[in-house]
Chain A
Amino acid sequence: MFIIGIILITIGVIFSTLGALGLVRMPDLYNRLQTSTKATTLGAFSTIIGVGFLNPAWLIKTIVIATFILLTAPISSHNLARASHKWGIPLSDKTSVDKYDSKTGKEE
């Protein structure tokens, strides 16, 4: 249990840092959402579950917190992506196609 907890927390910390690095390095908003928010989600998930393994009396509570983060993170990043696309944040120059813009005008 103890070893599993330490491994899980180490993985979580590494992914959190990679997510932060992605946030700084990526060229536009959508790619930042991709790399950062979700890498951090796995990072926090793994860290919290790892603490649960280190301290087995807390396991259920930590699973609840981790599941909560796992369920809410995609909703907020999806909402932010749609809002900023409608708000008019441009995509980076590397983007090959954007099929979303034309369709929204037609459907609404």
Chain B
Amino acid sequence: MNSSNYFSRWFFGFIVLSLLWLAFTFPFSLAELYTGLVVGAFISLFTAKYFEEFGISSFAPSKILGLLIYIPIILWEIIKANIEVAIIVLSPSLPIEPAIITAKTKLKSDIGKMFLANSITLTPGTLTVDIIKDTYFIHCIKIDKTDERYATESIIGKFEKHLRRFVK
């Protein structure tokens, strides 16, 4: 672990924690601002060694743009899926065909897998039960085919192509 690398991780943690603090205490006074900056710098000294995939390079404009594009896409997917599930809940016969299926991802980094798992879980109808290496175990509330290729295309595919813009 060389020092510049450690510094870049520390800087990432400092910026993220400070922004979070500013958002939490929104109409902030100057004293609160100083307290937040000092505590953020102190905490990120200790957490820097755990967040190995972040650094100053995480603030590259292309990555931030990718994240900003991703937010409306995921919100739209959530709304669509919520309406589908609402129809299931409201129909008297309860037409569900649940199954736990597997799907493979091409994402390499842990943070990318985390983003993908959370996106899958946030859209109702699909729920990530576990991840082992690159295999996702997904509980679906209604699925026609249970083979792995179909699941990979239909569930993971729509998030993965957008996620690849900002995570590995």
Genuine A/B complex: yes
Contacts of A10 in B (CB 8 A): none
Contacts of B105 in A (CB 8 A): none
Given contacts A34-B125, A35-B89, A74-B121, contact A103 B132 (CB under 8 A): yes
Q: Give the A-B contact count at a CB cut-off of 8 A.
A: 119
> Contact at B101–A99, with CB atoms within 8 Å?
yes
In the docked arrangement, what's the CA distance between A74 and B78, Å? 12
Least Cβ–Cβ distance between B130 and chain A, in angstroms: 5
With beta carbons under 8 angstroms apart, the residue of B79, B82, B96, B99 that contacts A97 is B99
With beta carbons under 8 angstroms apart, the residue of B85, B98, B127, B128 that contacts A22 is B85
Contacts of A25 in B (CB 8 A): 89, 94
Q: How many residues from A make CB contacts under 8 Å with B?
A: 42
> Contact at A92–B98, with CB atoms within 8 Å?
yes
Contacts of A96 in B (CB 8 A): 97-99, 143, 146
Least Cβ–Cβ distance between B102 and chain A, in angstroms: 5
| A47 close to chain B: CB less than 8 A | no
Q: A8-22, CB under 8 A of B: which get 1 and which 0?
A: 000000010010011
| B135 close to chain A: CB less than 8 A | yes
With beta carbons under 8 angstroms apart, the residue of B26, B102, B135, B139 that contacts A34 is B139
Q: A74-108, CB under 8 A of B: which get 1 and which 0?
A: 11011001100100000110111111100110010
In the docked arrangement, what's the CA distance between A18 and B87, Å? 10
Contacts of A22 in B (CB 8 A): 85, 89
> Contact at B139–A81, with CB atoms within 8 Å?
yes
Contacts of B85 in A (CB 8 A): 22, 34-35, 38-39
In the docked arrangement, what's the CA distance between A18 and B85, Å? 9
> Contact at A18–B118, with CB atoms within 8 Å?
no
Given contacts A38-B82, A74-B121, contact A18 B127 (CB under 8 A): no
With beta carbons under 8 angstroms apart, the residue of A26, A91, A103 that contacts B137 is A103
With beta carbons under 8 angstroms apart, the residue of A35, A71, A77, A82 that contacts B130 is A82
> Contact at B128–A78, with CB atoms within 8 Å?
yes
26 contacts between A and B (CB under 8 A): A25-B94, A27-B94, A28-B98, A30-B98, A30-B100, A30-B129, A31-B96, A33-B127, A35-B88, A38-B78, A39-B85, A39-B89, A42-B79, A61-B26, A64-B23, A73-B122, A78-B118, A78-B127, A81-B128, A92-B98, A96-B97, A96-B99, A96-B146, A99-B101, A104-B130, A107-B132
* Other A-B pairs beyond A94-B96, A95-B100, A97-B101, 15, CB < 8 Å: A22-B89, A30-B139, A31-B141, A33-B127, A34-B125, A34-B127, A38-B85, A39-B82, A42-B82, A64-B23, A70-B122, A78-B121, A81-B129, A99-B101, A103-B102
